[in-house]
């Protein structure tokens, strides 16, 4: 694993992504997701909303890093809010 040059932040990042995927799978097995329409213009399932939330978070980080001089934690905080909003009302 040495060649992959792991750092603690990236390890935590990938571990949380993996944990989210496992948790989503477990949730899906317990109660299957029903496609529905929220404030997003398309009907989505739970997995779709997770994808939209994560992709949006990635772009939010790029925006904050590229266009502002804010701390990166601001982007992470906003992303968390965005992810939760999309998952609940998207």
Partner 1 sequence: MTKVQNNKAWWLVLPVFLLVAFSAIIPMMTVVNYSVQDIFDQSSRYFVGADWFRQVLQDPRLHDSLLRQFIYSACVLLIEIPLGIGIALTMPTKGRWSSLCLIVMTIPLLIPFNVVGTIWQIFGRGDIGLLGWILNDVLGISYNYAANASDAWVTVLVIDVWHWTSLVALLCYSGLRAIPDVYYQAARIDRASNWAVFRHIQLPKMKSVLLIAVMLRFMDSFMIYTEPFVLTGGGPGNSTTFLSQTLTTMALGQFDLGPAAAFSLVYFLIILLVSWVFYTAMTHSEKN
Decide whether 2 or 88 has the Cβ nearer to partner 1. 2
Assess contact for 43 and 33: CB atoms under 8 A.
no
Binding site for partner 1 (CB under 8 A): 2-7, 9-10, 13-14, 42-43, 51, 55, 58-59, 61-62, 65-67, 72
Nearest to partner 1 of 3, 39 (CB atom): 3
Query: DSSP 3-state assignment of 37?
Result: strand
Surface-to-core class of residue 61, CB atoms within 10 Å of its CB (0-12 exposed, 13-18 middle, 19+ buried): middle
User: Of 58 and 81, which CB lies nearer to partner 1 in the complex structure?
Assistant: 58
């Amino acid at each position: 694993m040495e060649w992959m040059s792991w750092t603690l932040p990236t390890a935590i990042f990938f571990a949380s992504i993996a944990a989210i995927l496992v948790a989503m799978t477990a949730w899906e097995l317990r109660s299957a997701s029903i496609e529905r329409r929220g404030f997003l213009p398309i009907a989505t399932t739970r997995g779709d909303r997770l994808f939209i939330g994560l992709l949006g978070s990635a772009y939010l980080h790029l925006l904050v890093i590229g266009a502002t001089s804010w701390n990166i934690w601001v982007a992470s905080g906003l992303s968390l809010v965005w992810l939760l909003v999309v998952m609940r009302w998207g």
